[in-house]
């Protein structure tokens, strides 16, 4: 049974006066001070919120994810030599960019309802800096100020990162050695709010971008361009319900303006300790320190090593 140290935390959190959008976008010192001073209160509030709503609140878990992906992943955890079945689910668009079904489309409505409950909780939460405070703009990782600290959600988030994303990234992108640390946020593109995202690279070894639109939630525009540095060509993709794109952080990409509807995504990153990424990776999105030593290549790593969880602790470095 969950326990919380402050039984009035939810009520207290709802009375907090959250920093203004302008102050947040300008990263004024008072903003970080607000989140840091209230971190324990907000964590207790999320725990209390779960207990108060336990009879009608979704407990997110890996059953929300695509059945074929889940089976292949679970089989590979039992026997890493079966990892090829995981790789076979991913289609390579250009070198270093892959797409596959990630969420079960039949369960997405439940997950979106959960996020709606998160929004309606009235607990303060921080959106990603540089992104307008839209409805689904939420920080997901504990290293981030004002993150979604609901215990059940955090268990689900860690499952995605540890059991799914990390071994997939190691298998497809060769990120072993630069994927101890995690980061994540949600974003929603709207024609009258956050319409697009300029060309950039990520401060990550690997980025997993997951669309969470339900099947009948249509939108136009919002295509994503990926630039193939080896050929100089650009490949344009359109997100489909529940599908994910995983790519190396140093692959340049940009989002076209959304014209109608809304597009909601979860974006999660892996990178090394102290924001390190493999040599040669550069970033214009977040802060990054490139390694000076030679990168670990996937050829040097056994299947068993790919299907393992780092033993080190999480640090406190956050990209933004």
Residue spans per domain, the chain: 61-306
222 contacts 239 by C-beta, under 8 angstroms: yes
pTM: 0.90
β-strand pairing of 289-290 with 276-277: parallel
Cα–Cα nearest to 89, from 97, 81, 100 = 100
The per-residue pLDDT for range 108-160, each reduced to its tens digit, is: 999 999 999 999 999 999 988 766 546 678 999 999 999 999 999 999 999 99
Structure tokens at 85: 């079945």
Give the CATH superfamily of 61-306: q2cbj1_9rhob like domain (2.60.120.620)
The per-residue pLDDT for range 9-50, each reduced to its tens digit, is: 999 999 999 998 889 888 899 999 999 999 999 999 999 999
* 89 contact partners, CB below 8 Å, separation of at least 6: 68, 69, 72, 100, 101
The per-residue pLDDT for range 279-295, each reduced to its tens digit, is: 654 333 343 333 322 33
């Amino acid at each position: 049974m969950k326990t919380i140290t402050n039984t009035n935390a939810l009520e207290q959190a709802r009375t907090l006066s959250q920093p203004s959008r302008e102050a947040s976008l300008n990263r004024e010192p008072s903003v970080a001070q607000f989140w840091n001073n209230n971190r324990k209160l907000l964590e207790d509030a999320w725990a209390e919120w779960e207990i108060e709503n336990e009879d009608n609140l979704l407990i997110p878990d890996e059953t929300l994810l695509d059945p074929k992906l889940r089976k292949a992943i679970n089989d590979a955890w039992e026997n890493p030599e079966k990892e090829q079945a995981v790789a076979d689910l991913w289609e390579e668009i250009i070198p270093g960019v892959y797409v596959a079904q990630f969420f079960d489309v039949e369960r997405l409505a439940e997950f979106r309802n959960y996020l709606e409950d998160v929004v309606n909780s009235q607990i303060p939460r921080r959106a990603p800096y540089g992104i307008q405070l839209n409805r689904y703009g939420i920080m997901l990782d504990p290293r981030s100020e004002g993150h979604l600290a609901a215990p059940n959600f955090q268990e689900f988030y860690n499952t995605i990162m540890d059991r799914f994303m990390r071994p997939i990234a190691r298998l497809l992108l060769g990120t072993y050695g630069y994927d101890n640390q995690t980061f994540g946020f949600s974003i929603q593109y709207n024609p009258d709010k956050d319409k697009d995202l300029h060309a950039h690279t990520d401060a990550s070894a690997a980025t997993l971008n997951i669309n969470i639109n339900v099947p009948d939630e249509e939108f136009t525009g919002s295509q994503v361009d990926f630039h193939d540095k080896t050929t100089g060509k650009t490949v344009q993709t359109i997100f489909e319900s529940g599908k994910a794109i995983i790519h190396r952080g140093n692959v340049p990409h940009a989002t076209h303006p959304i014209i109608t509807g809304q597009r909601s995504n979860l974006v999660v990153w892996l990178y090394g300790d102290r924001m390190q990424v493999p040599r040669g990776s550069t970033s214009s999105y977040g802060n990054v320190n490139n390694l000076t030593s030679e990168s670990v290549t996937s050829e040097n790593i056994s299947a068993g090593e790919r299907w393992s969880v780092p033993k080190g602790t999480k640090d406190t470095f956050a990209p933004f």
